[in-house]
Amino acid sequence: MELFKATAHELHEKLVKKEISSVELTKAVFDRIDAVEKDVHSYVTLDKAGALAQAEKVDALLAQGKDIPVLAGIPGAIKDNISTKGLRTTCSSKMLENFIPIYDAYVIEKLRKDETVFLGKTNLDEFAMGSTTETSYFGASHNPWKLDCVPGGSSGGSAAAIAAGEAIWTLGSDTGGSIRQPASFVGCVGLKPTYGRVSRYGCVAFASSLDQIGPITRDVTDAALVLNTICGKDVHDATSLDVEVSDFTKALVADVKGLKIGLPKEYFGEGVNPKVKEAVLAAVKKYEELGAKIVEISLPHTEYAVTTYYIIAPAEASANLARFDGVRYGYRNQQAQSAPEMTALSRTEGFGQEVRRRIMLGTYVLSSGYYDAYYKKAMQVRTLIRKDFTDAFKQVDVIVTPTCPVTSFPYHDKMDPLSIYMLDVSTIPLNMAGLPGMSVPCGFADGMPVGLQLIGKALDEASILKAAYAFEQATDFHKQFAPLGGNK
C-alpha cells in the first residue's frame, strides 16, 4: 500500500506494530507533496523541519514502549485561518501575508497534546469568504479529480490535500458549508460539528455565530477520531459548550435498521443537477435496503436561507474585520500622509475584491436606518429556519440531502457572485440552525464526485456518524482515489 493513500486508523495500527515509523510515513507524504503540489496547490506554507522533528519524537516514544494516542505521528494539515504558534497564518490574504501568531488555537493545543504531526497550512478563499478557493491571494487550489476544476471552498486546500494524498487528515472551518462543500467536490468526508462543540478560539473570525472548525478525512472513522481530539469546553471561547465528549468511534456501527431518515422536498427541486439528484436518491435507496425508513419531510423556510445568510454573515464579518486597520498588525500602506488615509489605503490594498464586497454589504445592513429592515429581520427568519429543523426532528432521526446541487466545475466559469453564493444552498441552513452535518461521497456525475449530506440534531453527531458509516461500509466510493496525473 502507498502510505499516502492510507487512513489514519490504518496507519496507527502500522505504527503501533512497528511496521512503519512516523518519520518514514511523514517523508512518504512529503514525497507525494513534492510530486503533485505544483499541480494541486493545496498549501500556503509547509513545515517539513517541524513535521520531521515531531515524527522523530513519536518514534522515540514508540521505541520506549509507550502507548500513543491514535493520531500521534500521523501527518495532517491545518486550514490557514487557524492560529499556529510560530507558523505563518495568512487567511490566504495579502492583509496577513507575513503574520506569525504568538499562540495556538485551542484545537491545535489539543492536537499537539496528542503528538500529531503538522505538515503545514492549507489554502483557502481569502478570510474563508468563497466557495471555490479562487479568492485566495496566493492563487487557486485545483481539484485532484480534474485539475482545471475547482476543489470547492472555502476549505478547498484542506479537501484537495486529502484527495491528492498530500495529507492523511486535515482541519477546515465551516461558516456556510466550507467543510462539506469542498469535501463533496473532491470525494472525501467533511464534518461540521454542532455550533459550540469545538472551540473557535484561534480561528480567525469571519462570522462568529456561524463559524465552526471540523475535520476533513478519507473515511468516516478518521472523521470520528479527529473529532474526538478537537472537541471540548474551552474557557477562552464563551460559545464553547460545556458538554460531555463521548467517544464518537462507538457510534461507528454498520446498522441502520429502523433509523428514520428524512428527505426534505425543498432540497431536490429546481437547480439540482439531475445526475447529482440521481446519485443521492440511489444512496437513499441503499439506506432502504439496509433497513432504514425513509420519511418525506418539509423544511419550508429553506428558500430564505441563502438571502438571510448573506445579511447575517457579512454583518458579522464587517465587525470582525474592523480590527485589520493597518495599525497593530497586518498589511500597512507606507505612502499615506495621515492616519485615516493609512487605514483606508491599507484596507483597500490588503483585502481582495470578495472580502471588500462582503464588508461593504455588512456595513450597509448594520447602518442606521437599515438595521431593523435587514439584520433584525434576518435574525427573525433564522429563528424560523431553526424551528423547521426542530419540527422535522420530531419525525425523523437524520435528514439526508445533496451536499451541493452541482458537481465541481471549471475555473473562470464566469459565474457571477450570486451564482457562487447559491452553491451553498444545501449547507447554509445547518449553520443558521447550529446543527451538525457531514458530507460523504455517494457517487459520480460526469466523472466528478457527488456528496451526500447527513444532518443531525444538535449535539447528535453520533447519529450522523452511524448513518454515514453504515453507508460507507455498504459502498466503496470512499475507496476511489483521484487519478491525479495526466488529467489536466
The residues that are catalytic are 79, 154, 178
In 114-251, alpha helices (H): 156-164, 180-186, 220-230
- Contact between 167 and 180 under an 8 Å Cβ cutoff? The reply is no
Residue 24 DSSP symbol: H
Show Cβ contacts of residue 95 under 8 Å, excluding neighbours closer than 6 positions. Answer: 324, 330, 331, 350, 351
Q: How many residues does the chain have?
A: 488
Q: Are strands 75-79 and 293-297 parallel, antiparallel or unpaired?
A: unpaired
- Contact between 182 and 199 under an 8 Å Cβ cutoff? The reply is no
d(CA 241, CA 257): 31
Q: Are strands 43-46 and 398-402 parallel, antiparallel or unpaired?
A: unpaired
Show Cβ contacts of residue 342 under 8 Å, excluding neighbours closer than 6 positions. Answer: 326, 327, 332, 333, 336
Q: Residue 443 forms beta bridges with which residues?
A: 450
Cα 352 to the chain's mean position, in Å? 21
Dig out the grid coordinates for 22 from the structure: 512516523
Q: Of 37, 137, 47, which is closest to residue 92 (Cα–Cα)?
A: 137
Q: Residue 260 forms beta bridges with which residues?
A: 293
Is residue 146 helix, strand or coil? Answer: strand
